[in-house]
């Protein structure tokens, strides 16, 4: 199978997701390995959207530990309730932060990050990780991202 992605140049975020989603589903559907699938999802999102950083943190014992990602090096461990990722874990809900400088306790892995979305990965009612995306632009993420990223999360065999 060829692993080339078709990247569309569209002004519409929705159209970009609609092109990308079936490709991501196809890319990971035949593979059982979680690390491989999270790595390819990160790469596909980075390639289509060019965000500053996108990737996963996975719950290990009482912390989130850095998983597959694309972008600048990042902090490796985040405690429950800390930063945007730890808060999304503690509250079991998606967080969209328009301006990370206004988010109390935001963990600045990169000073270039201006806005962020974090979605929990939930298995049997328990958060087992988060999907985190950072943009260099303010207020970059919205409900469209939340909807489609949540759809991508449903493809993952956690």
Positions that interact with ligand SME (CB under 6 A): 53, 74-75, 78, 83-86, 106-107, 109, 113, 116, 132, 134
Residue of closest CB approach to ligand SME = 83
86 near 79, Cβ under 8 Å? yes
Nearer to ligand SME, 17 or 82 (CB): 82
Q: How far is the CB of 15 from ligand SME (least distance, A)?
A: 27
Nearer to ligand SME, 44 or 78 (CB): 78
Nearer to ligand SME, 19 or 80 (CB): 80
Q: How far is the CB of 12 from ligand SME (least distance, A)?
A: 26
Q: How far is the CB of 141 from ligand SME (least distance, A)?
A: 12
Nearer to ligand SME, 44 or 97 (CB): 97
Burial 143-158 (b: 16+ CB within 10 A, else e): eebeebbeebbeebee
Spacing of C-alpha 141 from chain mean position: 11
Across the beta sheet with 77-79, what order do the strands follow? 77-79, 63-70, 53-60, 126-135, 115-123, 95-97
Q: How far is the CB of 85 from ligand SME (least distance, A)?
A: 3
Q: How far is the CB of 116 from ligand SME (least distance, A)?
A: 6
119 near 146, Cβ under 8 Å? yes
Burial 21-33 (b: 16+ CB within 10 A, else e): bebbeebbeeeee
Give the integer Cα–Cα distance in Å for 20 and 6: 8
Q: How many other CB atoms are there within 10 angstroms of residue 59's CB atom?
A: 19
Nearer to ligand SME, 21 or 107 (CB): 107
């Amino acid at each position: 199978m060829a692993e080339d992605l078709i990247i569309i140049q569209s002004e519409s975020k929705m159209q970009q997701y609609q092109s990308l989603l079936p490709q991501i589903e196809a890319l990971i559907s035949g593979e059982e390995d979680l690390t491989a699938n999270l790595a390819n999802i990160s790469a596909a999102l980075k390639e289509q959207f060019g965000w500053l950083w996108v990737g996963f943190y996975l719950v290990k014992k009482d912390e989130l530990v850095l998983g597959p990602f694309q972008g600048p090096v990042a902090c490796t461990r985040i405690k429950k309730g800390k930063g945007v990722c730890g808060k999304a874990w503690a509250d079991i809900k998606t967080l969209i932060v328009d301006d990370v400088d206004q988010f109390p306790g935001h963990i600045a892995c990169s000073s270039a990050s201006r806005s962020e979305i974090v979605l929990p990965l939930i298995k049997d009612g328990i958060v087992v990780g988060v999907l985190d995306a950072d943009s260099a632009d303010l207020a970059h993420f919205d409900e469209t991202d939340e909807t489609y990223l949540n759809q991508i999360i449903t493809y993952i065999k956690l």
